[in-house]
């Protein structure tokens, strides 16, 4: 029997990631003590949480989800009341290149968290959220997908996450632990990793509009996704852990769009009208008009091309979530941020970031010049 305690101590694995950073902000605003696990790295990788460091209720611990001893030690020290297991090798295409590591982090990593909670004697007081995924539906057997839809994982990433999903259910049933999976469909943001398709597109649209990139190379343009805003989705992670009974939920918007459509709308927001011509690997996106500050010389140029480098050995092409259960039982609003608003947020951010990079480069150039002239010492 899991009982609620008055303390609110959250432990977040994957705190440096897109979701970890938004969730940290959300929980700090709710008055939680937030502890995050970070990996040691020789370069600075904490930009998403840099603004939180130094806040009195925000604490970081070095560890790795593939290291049982580190996980056990941190859980024992923090004594969390809620754990959000977000750490994962989260890139589907990369999982084909690093399947064993992906299994270690994304499958066995989940087991390490569950066991740490059990071995620290926290099963009655600690609730666990597992970052599960729509990739479990993979080679889909039903659209839209809900909590009853059969799974058919279609990548090493999805197979590893399927183990995570089932081990959570097993610990719930075997030991009565309060552990849940949020089956989240794709969620994006201005903090999304730059190699995921949406961010790759919004950054390229900004760079092309500002004359800093010639062409964007993409893989399967016809792939369909249910894309939401990450900031909205972390609220749902928290709601999942506030219920009387542990359960699993699909988290999605209930709307579906293609990669091609995302691309067209993102470029339009950056002032570039694209028309797609051709099919398969020969399809191209051509500029047929510009607005705002976009360069009129772009008109007539091919700005998007298909590169088979971005094809996957098996690709998931038809994801579309049914968030009815989350809306009904959690009172969560799947449509808070619309598809157009999501694109606007991402493109506006990247337009500013690309322009600021330019400003930063100018400052560096000026600095070099000033140093040369002896203006600054
Ligand atoms: P993300 O930006 O790629 O962040 C992944 C996080 O996991 C990073 O903080 C990363 O740390 C950490 N990590 C990776 N390997 C680790 C290891 N061995 N030990 C400790 N930490 C490790 O991913 P996200 O988009 O925020 O997604 C969060 C979780 O939700 C992931 O589990 C993902 O699989 C799942 N998910 C995401 C989506 C989505 O659309 N975003 C949808 C469904 C499920 P570093 O910064 O050190 O690399
Ligand atoms: O690909 C196609 C690609 O890499 C989306 C992760 O957060 O969401 C994410 O996984 C689609 C695929 O995300 C490019 O083939 C076309 O069909 O942005 P993505 P994903 O694979 O859906 C799920 C829910 C997770 O759980 C994962 O952690 O877009 N696509 N051209 C491309 N994809 C990429 N990355 N790059 C391209 O150039």
| DSSP-derived secondary structure letter, 34 | E
Output the pLDDT for position 24.
98
Our answer to whether residue 198 is catalytic in this structure is no
Instruction: Give tens-digit pLDDT for 197-224.
Output: 999 999 999 999 999 999 999 999 999 9
Closest Cα to atom 22 of ligand 1: 87
Instruction: Give tens-digit pLDDT for 150-168.
Output: 999 999 999 999 999 999 9
Confidence category of residue 6, pLDDT binned at 50, 70, 90 = confident
Choice among 74-78, 125-129, 320-324, 360-364 with the minimum mean pLDDT: 360-364
11 vs 74: CA distance, rounded Å: 9
**pLDDT at residue 5 greater than cutoff 80:** no
Triad 114, 146, 330: Cα angle to 5°: 70
**pLDDT at residue 26 greater than cutoff 80:** yes
**Percent of the chain topping pLDDT 70:** 94
CB 87 less than 6 A from any atom of ligand 1? yes
DSSP 27-93: HHHTT-EEEEEE---SS---TTTTTTTT-TTEEEEE--TT-HHHHHHHHHHH--SEEEE--S---HH
Output the pLDDT for position 377.
39
Contact 111, 168 (CB under 8 A): no
Cα of 159 from ligand 1 centre, angstroms: 16
Instruction: Give tens-digit pLDDT for 282-315.
Output: 999 999 999 999 999 999 999 999 999 999 999 9
Q: Structure pTM?
A: 0.96
Output the pLDDT for position 376.
40
Chain-centroid distance, C-alpha 2: 29
DSSP H or E stretch at residue 59: strand 58-62
Cα of 52 from ligand 2 centre, angstroms: 29
Measured from the alpha carbon of residue 257, the closest ligand is 2
Higher per-residue confidence, 3 vs 41: 41
Candidates 25, 82, 135, 188; catalytic one: 135
Intra-chain end-to-end CA distance of the chain, in Å: 66
CB 14 less than 6 A from any atom of ligand 1? yes
CB 90 less than 6 A from any atom of ligand 1? yes
Contact 319, 186 (CB under 8 A): yes
**pLDDT at residue 370 greater than cutoff 50:** no
Q: What is the mean pLDDT of the chain?
A: 95
Our answer to whether residue 178 is catalytic in this structure is no
Output the pLDDT for position 361.
62
Our answer to whether residue 157 is catalytic in this structure is yes
Contact 92, 157 (CB under 8 A): yes
Output the pLDDT for position 368.
53
Confidence category of residue 371, pLDDT binned at 50, 70, 90 = very low
């Amino acid at each position: 029997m899991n009982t609620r305690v008055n303390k609110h101590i959250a432990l977040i694995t994957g705190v440096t990631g897109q979701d970890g950073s938004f969730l940290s902000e959300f929980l700090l605003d709710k008055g939680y003590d937030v502890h995050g696990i970070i990996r040691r790295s020789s370069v600075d990788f904490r930009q998403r949480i840099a603004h939180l460091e130094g806040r009195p209720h925000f604490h970081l611990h070095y560890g790795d989800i593939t290291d049982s001893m580190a996980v056990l030690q941190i859980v024992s020290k923090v004594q969390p009341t809620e754990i959000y297991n977000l750490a994962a090798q989260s890139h589907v295409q990369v999982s084909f290149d690093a399947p064993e590591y992906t299994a270690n982090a994304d499958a066995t990593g989940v087991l390490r968290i569950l066991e740490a909670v059990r071995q620290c004697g926290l099963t009655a007081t600690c609730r666990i959220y597992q970052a599960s995924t729509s990739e479990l539906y993979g080679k889909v057997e039903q659209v839209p997908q809900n909590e009853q839809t059969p799974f058919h994982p279609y990548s090493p990433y999805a197979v590893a996450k399927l183990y995570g999903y089932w081990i959570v259910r097993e610990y719930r049933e075997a030991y009565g632990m309060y552990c849940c999976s949020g089956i989240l469909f794709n969620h994006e943001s201005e903090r999304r990793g730059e190699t995921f398709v949406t961010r790759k597109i919004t950054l390229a649209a900004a760079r092309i509009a500002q004359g800093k990139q010639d062409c964007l190379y993409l893989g399967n343009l016809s792939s369909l996704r249910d894309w939401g805003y990450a900031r909205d989705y972390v609220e749902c992670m928290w709601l999942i852990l506030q219920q009387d009974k542990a359960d699993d939920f699909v988290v999605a918007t209930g709307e579906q769009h293609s990669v091609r459509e995302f691309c067209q709308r993102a470029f339009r927001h950056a002032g570039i009208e694209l028309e797609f011509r051709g099919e398969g690997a020969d399809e191209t996106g051509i500029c047929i008009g510009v607005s705002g500050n976009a360069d009129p010389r772009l008109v007539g140029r091919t700005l998007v091309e298909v590169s088979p480098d971005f094809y996957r050995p098996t690709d998931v092409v038809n994801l579309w979530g049914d968030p009815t259960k989350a809306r009904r039982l959690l009172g969560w609003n799947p449509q808070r941020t619309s598809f157009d608003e999501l694109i606007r947020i991402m493109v506006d951010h990247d337009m500013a970031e690309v322009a600021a990079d330019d400003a930063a480069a100018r400052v560096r150039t000026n600095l070099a010049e000033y140093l040369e002239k002896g203006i600054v010492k």
